[in-house]
Amino acid sequence: MGYRFILASASPRRRELLKQIGVTFEVMPAKGEEVITKEQPEQAVMELSRQKAEEIAAGIQDEQVLVLGADTVVVYDGKILGKPKDEADARAMLSMLNGRTHSVFTGVTVIVMRNGKSEIHSFYEETKVTMYPMTDAQISYYIQTGEPMDKAGAYGIQGKGAVFIEKINGDYNNVVGLPVAKIFYKMLESGIEIL
């Protein structure tokens, strides 16, 4: 590939997905405060992913670098659900999603630095997720596991939360946090092979 690949995220799930497809990369999590100015969820996640990628790219001097920023949100009935603030917030989110279909949006920004120039590629992926009905006791048990606390929408499809998922329509990896296939093909369109 010839590019230094930097993931601007601390997410262990994103690291696992990149490892899974065989990408060699470094991790440099963005530390800036996330600021959403867009109303539409697809615009908001692209905006946040771009902020993360630009923060890291600003400190890089090397030639031939790819910086990847990503942000994932859950959206139900037009409401953006990020990570829960506390257990009560997690319960409110899970109750909202209970037995219903919602969308998971991941925004991705890849900044390609080569030949003294930067190209910015931002896009998003949407996956529809339908949850089985859950009892209050099931929601309480799940919250007590601690898993919901660092996940958008208060659940992890790749963890214990999998038991509540009836079906998905779209890219499973997008729900985990990174649409790796779309990233691969978007980069190919730009003449860059990341593998």
Q: How far apart are CA 195 and CA 192, in angstroms?
A: 9
Phi, psi values for residue 27, rounded to 5°: -110, 125
Report DSSP state, residue 78: T
**Is 86 annotated as catalytic?**
no
Long-range CB contact pairs, 116-124, < 8 A, 24+: 116/63, 118/57, 119/190, 120/50, 120/53, 120/54, 121/186, 121/187, 121/190, 122/46, 122/49, 122/50, 123/46, 123/182, 123/186, 124/42, 124/45, 124/46
* Catalytic pick among 71, 77, 86, 136: 71
Q: How far apart are CA 193 and CA 20, in angstroms?
A: 16
Q: Compute the radius of gyration of the chain from its Cα atoms.
A: 17
**Residue 88 to residues 40, 61, 83, 93, 94, Cα–Cα distance (Å):** 26, 44, 12, 9, 10
| Residue of 15, 60, 10, 16 whose CA lies nearest to 32 | 10
Catalytic residues: 71
